[in-house]
Amino acid sequence: MNRLPLICIILAFLFASSDGLAQDLMQKLTSRRVGSDGGAIEATFAATPAADVHNQNTTFSAQRFTLSGIVPFYNSNINEVGLGAFITQGKAESAAILPTTLDPMPEDYTKISVGPYYKHIFKNKWMFALNVQIGSSSDEPFSGINVMDIGGNVVLNIPAGKKSSWVAFINYSSNRDFWRNIPIPGFGYAFDAEWARGMAGAPTFYLHILHKKPINFIVRYFPIITTYAEMGYDISPPLRIATCFAWHDDHFWRKDRQVERDQMFFVRKEIGGYVSIRPEKFLTLKFTGGVGFDRYIFEAQSVIRDKGYNRVDLDSSPFVNVSLSATIGGPK
């Protein structure tokens, strides 16, 4: 039995925003189970209706579809090798103009990534894992080296007790929303107590309060702006309802950008709720809805720098998100 599954959750949110594959892949990398887990697939559709663009006589609406999957193709008692892949297709409908360069706003963007992962468990129960992902993130994907997306993780999981563990990691990414192309090390102490479970460390924080009770709370943070808080009610094992708040961003490279290192960011805060249903043990259906506010688009080297460059401010707008995920194989 995996002693500390919460570590999977923590690092899932650490290394990749909202992409389902990244979360599932980090669960693979951090779980101490080797050779017994199955694969996973997930499809997600998200949409926001038309809302006014500030100081421009036009509106903005957006849709996004993501398909991801993980396939282990070699398993043994101490080694596991597999492949992860995902594609996200985003589309915007707007006649908005980027005000600094007077370029039209991109109508769509694509994120695609694929790569192998490897896990090994030592005789002393320490677990080592790594992965590499290669792809592209742009309105014109694979159009040049300057729109390539290259990343990877190295993880070491060291048992510290029956329900605790030390975690050390190094993450590299050419497509972060800050400090791109710089390896970022991190560490933390994860615990699982009666009243809460979580991880104290740097640069991330996670806490799940009253996780064994029907009503429970989740808080997590990763620099620089990614913040999430949730209050949920587990009505029964297959049904959960929750209210939540998120502050996050999407980002990609615009092919015709004038500053080579700049990315396009879509930053927003969201408040709403969701209903999660598990009609079968291997299948989860989740409906999320709410209101997005403090929404704006800009180009810069970092999500917290030069927010006035090509900035487009948007009115608040409702949003909806539907996801379907399934596990394939694994323990019975």
Q: What are the residue ranges spanned by the domains of the chain? A: 6-328
Tell me what percent of the residues of the chain surpass a pLDDT of 70: 89
Q: Which residues contact 287 (CB under 8 A, 6 or more apart)?
A: 274, 275, 276, 320, 321, 322
Q: Which of residues 77 and 15 earns the better pLDDT score?
A: 77
Instruction: Evaluate if residue 163 carries a pLDDT over 50.
Output: yes
Counting DSSP H helices and E strands in the chain, the numbers are: 2, 19
Report the run of H or E that residue 58 belongs to, with start and end. none
Pairing of strands 263-280, 226-236: unpaired
Does 189 or 28 have the greater pLDDT score? 189
The per-residue pLDDT of the chain, averaged, comes to 87
Alpha helices in the chain (DSSP H): 6-15, 20-30
Taking the C-alpha atoms of residue 300 and residue 171, their distance in angstroms, rounded to an integer, is: 22
Per-residue pLDDT at 18: 39
Average pLDDT over residues 260-274: 95
Q: Which pLDDT score is estimated for 5?
A: 41
Report residue 46 as tokens.
């998200």
- Taking the C-alpha atoms of residue 203 and residue 188, their distance in angstroms, rounded to an integer, is 9
* Look-up of token digits 């421009």: 56
pLDDT digits (tens, 9 = 90+) for 190-244: 788 889 888 878 887 888 999 889 999 999 888 888 899 999 999 987 899 999 9
- Residue burial 142-155, b: 16+ Cβ < 10 Å; e: rest: eeeeebbbbbbbbb
pTM of the predicted protein model: 0.86
pLDDT at 191: 85
Q: Which residue has the higher pLDDT, 155 or 328?
A: 155
Terminal-residue alpha carbon distance, the chain = 12
- Whether the CB-CB separation of 285 and 45 falls below 8 Å is answered with no
Burial class (CB in 10 A: 0-12, 13-18, 19+), 289: middle
pLDDT at 298 over 70: yes
Helix axes 6-15, 20-30, angle to 10 degrees: 130
DSSP code, position 281: T
Q: What is the rounded distance in angstroms from the CA atom of residue 235 to the CA atom of residue 218?
A: 17
Query: How many residues are given for the chain?
Result: 332
Distance, in Å, from the CA atom of 12 to the CA atom of 6, rounded to the nearest integer, reads 10
Contact status, residue 157 vs residue 34, Cβ threshold 8 Å:
no
Are 191 and 198 contacting, i.e. CB atoms less than 8 angstroms apart?
yes
The tens digit of pLDDT for each residue in 60-77 reads: 999 999 998 888 888 888
